Amino acid sequence: MSQQRVAVVTGASRGIGRQIALTLASRGSAVVVGYAGREDAAAQVVREVTEAGGRAVAVQADIADEKAVAALFDAAEAEFGGVDVVVNSAGRMVLGPIAEFDLDDLDSMHRTNIRGTFVVLREAVRRVRDGGAVVTLSTSILGLQFPAYAAYAASKGAVEAMTLIAAREVRGRDITVNTVAPGPTATELFLEGKDEATVERLAKTPPLERLGTPQDIAGAVAFLAGPDGRWVNGQVLRVNGGIV
């Protein structure tokens, strides 16, 4: 009997991260549900996985805190025996024009999105077993260049750079490292504060004329993390319905 793969998913209590955790569990992985503050939501993800016959545990971690991230990986090794897949879905988005952007917001967002991604990548390349996969989350905003997204896009540009370099640094270990860059996706976080006309306009932008769903993004991540994605490495996969 082959060894069960073990996935660590950050930002897994809601939105895209939640769906990634559920999808990986449905495809046979034991899952560590990483979360920052929503303990109740993370516990619900664990319940859904276990009720479906899977294995999961929730662990709190601020991804920018290297000790917390090390403890997250420690928990995966203690509970399930190791780590094969790491998906860094945790992140923050603060919007505003450059001329008016609050630098405290810039620093806090970049702490999570840049430092946090670096910390998770560092732990991943140290700990992921040979034959594993690492996936980070970027954004298709890098190609769209919408006003008010400069600070957020800058942080995700850093995510792409770090991810593609990490892919080269794990040479010889049969570990793939890729990033998925979603387009507009119908999550609670995305829809919050947008009127119906704005949502409809964004939905009509891609040739497929709809918003993405968390399942769309999770399916792409699961492909990269699974056996069919083994020859895709050091790539940015823009999952956006053809918007860019």
DSSP 15: H
Q: Which residues contact 28 (CB under 8 A, 6 or more apart)?
A: 4, 5
Concatenate the DSSP letters of all residues of 182-213 into one string.
E-SB--HHHHTT--HHHHHHHHHSSTT-S-B-
Catalytic residue positions, numbered: 152
Q: Helix, strand or coil for residue 59?
A: strand
Query: pTM of the prediction?
Result: 0.94
The structure tokens 């990269």 sit at 224
**Residue 1: what pLDDT?**
45
**Residue 238: what pLDDT?**
96
Contact 64, 11 (CB under 8 A): no
Q: Which domains does the chain have, with CATH numbers?
A: 6-239 (3.40.50.720)
The rounded distance, in Å, linking the Cα atoms of 100 and 189 is 22
**Residue 66: what pLDDT?**
97
Contact 20, 217 (CB under 8 A): yes
The rounded distance, in Å, linking the Cα atoms of 60 and 67 is 12
Contact 90, 34 (CB under 8 A): yes
What's at 81, amino acid-wise?
G
**Residue 190: what pLDDT?**
78
**Residue 202: what pLDDT?**
86
**Residue 49: what pLDDT?**
97
Q: Which of 22, 47, 214 is nearest to 137 (CA)?
A: 214
DSSP 112: I
* Phi (first) and psi of residue 4, to 5 degrees: -70, 135
Tokens of 119: 């910390």
The rounded distance, in Å, linking the Cα atoms of 134 and 166 is 9
**Residue 2: what pLDDT?**
63
Sign, Cα dihedral of 166, 5, 52, 42: negative
Query: In which residue ranges of the chain is pLDDT below 70?
Result: 1-2
* Phi (first) and psi of residue 101, to 5 degrees: -75, 135
The rounded distance, in Å, linking the Cα atoms of 148 and 202 is 15
